[in-house]
Structure 1
Amino acid sequence: MKLHLSGPSDHNLKSAIQITGSKSETNRSLLLQALFPNIAIRNRSNSDDADAMKKGLGVRSDMVDIHHAGTAMRFLTAYFASQEGKDVVLTGSQRMTERPIKVLVEALKTLGADIEYVNNEGYPPIRIHGKKLAKNKVSLPANISSQYISALLLIAPTFENGLELELIGKITSVPYIKMTLGLLNQIGAKTSFGKNTIKVSTVGHVSPMEMVIESDWSSASYFYSIVALSDIGSEIKLGSYKKDSLQGDSVISELYKDFGVETIFLSNEIVLKKVQDAKQGIFECDLSNAPDIAQTIAVTCLGLRLGCNLTGLHTLKIKETDRLEAMRAELSKFGAEVKVTDKSLHMAPLSDLVPEVAIATYNDHRMAMAFAPLALRTSFKINDAEVVSKSYPDFWKDLKTLGFQLQEL
């Protein structure tokens, strides 16, 4: 589906939107629910990724195809490896077979797992023969995707002696690790995270309980961008959010102050309000703890005619696409001068936006949603716009409620 986007006729926005649960929290909670069936989940994400995770967890002996769902690939690898008697082949899209899994597989093998590569060493698809994992100590490089780390931590409560995980080097994406530990604490696991060692205790039994998923801050980021690009006085109310969030992307409420957006925290929702013009100059930020909002921030800077230096982005090379190269290519279509390294993005301020370009999405939901707010400043096209269903199926519908003009081509 190709969409032509243009912004609302009135840039003084007033609206309220309900966003479903965090994909990150949902997938972690679904795995814990599979391990401990007394757990009930409320406000589950309605994303494709969460559906793939839920479906995969229900398979006992067969092919499990998680398509583009990277989180599900990592989490299900650990889950099936620890499930005695389950025998599966875990695979995904073409892009998924190009995303590395070796670090996690080797760690699981150290713990006693039985995993084989079907085609290429270090990459899916993988054949997993589930078994009880007897060992309880393992080490991982610390500068990898936090999903590898969380995958091991989530199955740790089922180990007879818990798990001691040593992280070697500088740790990235710490908030995602803390999210996992926070959810483990909710089910009664004792955890500790000191220096470079994480410990998780065994959990014998979980009494009936409900896990309420907070709405997704990554999804909220696109509305921060919309408010930043709108007129002073614009307000968008989002639910359901809390100030003491487990999600690392909640840092966006602080970062967007530089773009003139104030966040008002209510009992279970937030109000985004444009209170002043953005600070001029070059926006600089280390996003090593929240790399998923890098695309949103870069597009906001483009729309505000600001330059940016975004660092800490090394994990973006192995996402749904190479997000750094994808952003360089697509930002450049609007006339921006962009340079990327293997862990950073640098964009010079731009005087005028080239109109009516066509944005490629690279099978990456965040490419489509990050660029959409730019319709407040110029009209353009987005190719393969349906890719948003990976994390936020209602995105285009919610943009229509704000007055965005969407024409299917």
Structure 2
Amino acid sequence: MRVRLNFPGKEVHGEISVTGSKSESNRLLLLKALLQDLEIKNLSNSDDTRVMKAGIEKTSGMVDIHHAGTAMRFLTAYFATQPGCDVVLTGSARMKERPISILVDALRALGAAITYTEKDGYPPLHIKGTSIVKHEVTLDADVSSQYISALLLVAPNLENGLELTLDGKITSLPYIKMTLALLEQVGVKTDFTSNVITIAPLKKNETKVLTVESDWSSASYFYSIASVCEQASIVISSYKPDSLQGDSVLQEIYRDLGVGSAFMEDRLMLKRVAETEQVSMMKLDLANAPDIAQTIAVSCFANGVGCELTGLHTLKIKETDRLEALKTELTKLGASIEVTNDTLYLKAGGDIRPEIAIDTYNDHRMAMAFAPLALKVPIIINDAGVVSKSYPGFWDDLASLGFEVQEL
């Protein structure tokens, strides 16, 4: 599926209901499987959550999670700690290139039975579930937070809980805090002191009902739209001022690109603030919110603003190498951009070339991050259906805001 995007006007107004956060949804699905007495409302309708939900119901045979990185990490820990499980956990060709040894080594240190069926250090994994008695393990603190969260989520179901020591400087801290907050909400006792996280086993649990907040990563695309057009008032729901999601930092970041945020109960209003003077260069450390890096880079390019983004080392092992993908596609549009293993530098200014076809590299965020450029020039998105990974209704929602979305 290829789409051509165009926007015939200069103002964007409308109201959008954004699906639940897949980060929260996938964590709660795992806790529901472990603790049973949990009802989840506003669950994400994303491919990742659908795959997670289907995978968690299996106890034997092949479990294929396709492109879903979160499901790969979380289900590895889940199956390894479920006595009687005997599965082969696999995924797409790209998933087989994404390292998993950090998590596997940690689970093995606790007593898990996991073997690689093809290349050492990478999926597929043959996992035989077993009772875990050991409760102490150490990880480097700068690894993907999904490895850490996977261990924390299964910890309440371990006989002696878990004491996890993080060695070094922690990255993606908001995602770890989200996991701990959700554990607390379902009745698990946690402690995070210095670099040691302790999770107590949960012996008895009362029925809980939790509502998933809408996805802040998905909100980033509407922040970008509001920053690019001349006038905007976009209402998105359902959001919380005290969000658990690290990407809620969008509120502060986009203020410098002329977008104001205001809460009205569970709705968030984004408004283009004309009197706000945009910065000429943005310098941001996104170690705690790497998933919004693509959106910010494209927003800056669309506004003629330069940016220097750091803390992006985890983007190399996502659905694609997101830094190289950004460099390739922004260069096609006329940008002057440089990337390293963990940084991105975009030079301010430059005209935007029209009718450029953007490749998406099996990466939902590439498709959605580049879409707001249609406010400036017509643009083509290749493999546009990839958005279903996190936001299946994205193109319909853009059309409701006045975008012309033409399938080619």
TM range (shorter): over 0.9
What's the counterpart of residue 307 of structure 2? 308
Question: In structure 1, what is the equivalent of residue 244 of structure 2?
Answer: 246
Change (3 A) 1:264 1:330: same
Q: What's 1:82 paired with?
A: 81
Q: Distance in 1 between matches of 2:205 and 2:39?
A: 11
Structure 2 equivalent of residue 193 of structure 1:
192
Q: Is the 8 A contact 1:68 1:93 kept in 2?
A: yes
Measure how far apart 1:14 and its partner are: 1.5
Mapping 1:218-297, distance limit 5 Å? 218-232=217-231, 234-276=232-274, 277-297=276-296
Deviation at 1:198, TM superposition (A): 0.7
Q: 8 Å contact 1:158–1:202 — kept in the other structure?
A: yes
Where does residue 359 of structure 2 map in the other structure? 360
| SS of 2:60 mapped into structure 1 | coil
Offset at residue 159 of structure 1 (A):
1.3
1:4 is matched with which residue? 4
Q: After alignment, is 268-277 or 169-178 more displaced?
A: 268-277
Q: 2:319 and 2:11 mapped to 1: Cα distance?
A: 34
Post-superposition offset of 1:279 = 1.5
Structure 2 counterpart of 1:408: 407
> Aligned residue for 1:217?
216
Cα deviation for residue 187 of structure 1 reads 1.0
What is aligned with 1:107?
106
**Residue 331 of structure 1 aligns to which amino acid in structure 2?**
L
How far did 1:11 drift? Answer: 2.1
* Correspondence 1:106-145 to 2 at 5 A: 106-145=105-144
Deviation at 1:280, TM superposition (A): 3.2
Q: Structure 2: how far apart are the matches of 1:248 and 1:208?
A: 27
Q: Distance in 2 between matches of 1:58 and 1:371?
A: 36
Q: 1:40 Cα deviation (Å)?
A: 0.7
CA distance in 1, matches of 2:98, 2:203: 34
How far the C-alpha of 1:205 sits from its partner, in A, is 2.1
Q: Are the aligned partners of 1:248 and 1:290 in contact in 2 as well (CA < 8 Å)? A: yes
Aligned twin of 1:15: 14
Contact (CA 8 Å) 1:39, 1:206: kept in 2 or not?
A: no
Distance 1:29 1:278 in 2: 41
**Aligned-partner Cα distance in 2 for 1:408–1:15:** 22
Q: Per-residue deviation at 1:137?
A: 0.4
Q: Which residue of the partner structure matches residue 373 of structure 1?
A: 372
Contact 1:335 1:350 in 2 (8 A): no
Secondary structure of the residue that 1:13 maps to in structure 2? strand
Q: TM-score, normalised by structure 1?
A: 0.99
| Counterpart residue identity of residue 100, structure 2 | I
Moved over 6 A (4+): none
Q: Secondary structure at the match of 1:165?
A: strand
- The alignment partner of 1:4 has SS state of strand
Deviation at 1:351, TM superposition (A): 2.5
Secondary structure of the 2:11 match is coil
Q: Secondary structure at the match of 1:298?
A: helix
Corresponding residue number in structure 2 for 1:345 = 344
Residues 1:59 and 2:39 aligned together: no
Residues 1:333 and 2:342 aligned together: no
d(CA) in 1 for partners of 2:9 and 2:327?
31
**Whole-angstrom distance in 2 between the partners of 1:137 and 1:82:** 15
CA 254–200 in structure 1, closer or farther in 2 if over 3 Å, else same: same
Deviation at 1:398, TM superposition (A): 0.2
Give the 3 Å change call, closer, same or farther, for CA 27–278 of structure 1 in structure 2. farther
Deviates more, 1:343-352 or 1:101-110: 343-352
Q: CA deviation at 1:133?
A: 0.7
Conservation of the 8 A alpha-carbon contact between 1:63 and 1:88: yes
Q: Which amino acid aligns with 1:366?
A: R
Question: Which amino acid in structure 2 is aligned with residue 246 of structure 1?
Answer: L
Distance 1:138 1:269 in 2: 41
Residue by residue, what CA displacement relative to the aligned partner does 1:327-372 show, whole Å, maximum 9, x if unpaired? 0000001110110000010010132111111100000000000000
Q: What is the Cα deviation at residue 131 of structure 1?
A: 0.4
Residue identity opposite 2:270 in structure 1: L
Provide the rounded CA distance (Å) in 2 between the counterparts of 1:43 and 1:221: 19
Q: Secondary structure at the match of 1:33?
A: helix
Q: What is the deviation of 1:278? A: 4.8
Which residue of structure 2 aligns with residue 156 of structure 1? Answer: 155
Deviations for 1:73-121, whole angstroms, at most 9, x for unmatched residues?
0000000000000000000000000000000000000010000000000
The Cα of 1:21 is off from its aligned counterpart by: 0.5
* 2:40 partner SS: strand
8 Å contact from structure 1 (residues 119, 125) kept in 2: yes
Cα shift readout 1:288-324 (whole Å, capped 9, x = no counterpart): 0000000000000010011110000000000000000
* Residues 23-48 of structure 1: per-residue CA shift (max 9 Å, x gap): 00000000000001110110000000
* 1:170 alignment counterpart: 169
Give the Cα separation in 2 of the matches to 1:147 and 1:391: 16
Distance in 2 separating the partners of 1:247 and 1:210 = 19
Task: Output the amino acid matched with 2:243.
Answer: S
- Which residue type is aligned with residue 39 of structure 1? L
Q: Describe the SS at the equivalent of 2:52.
A: helix
Deviation at 1:282, TM superposition (A): 1.0
Note the residue ranges of structure 1 that are not aligned, 5 or more in a row: none
**What is the deviation of 1:194?**
1.6
Q: Which amino acid aligns with 1:40?
A: E
Which whole-Å CA distance do the structure 1 matches of 2:179 and 2:16 have between them? 27
AA in 2 matched with 1:32: L
Match of 2:390 in 1: 391
Q: CA RMSD in A?
A: 0.8
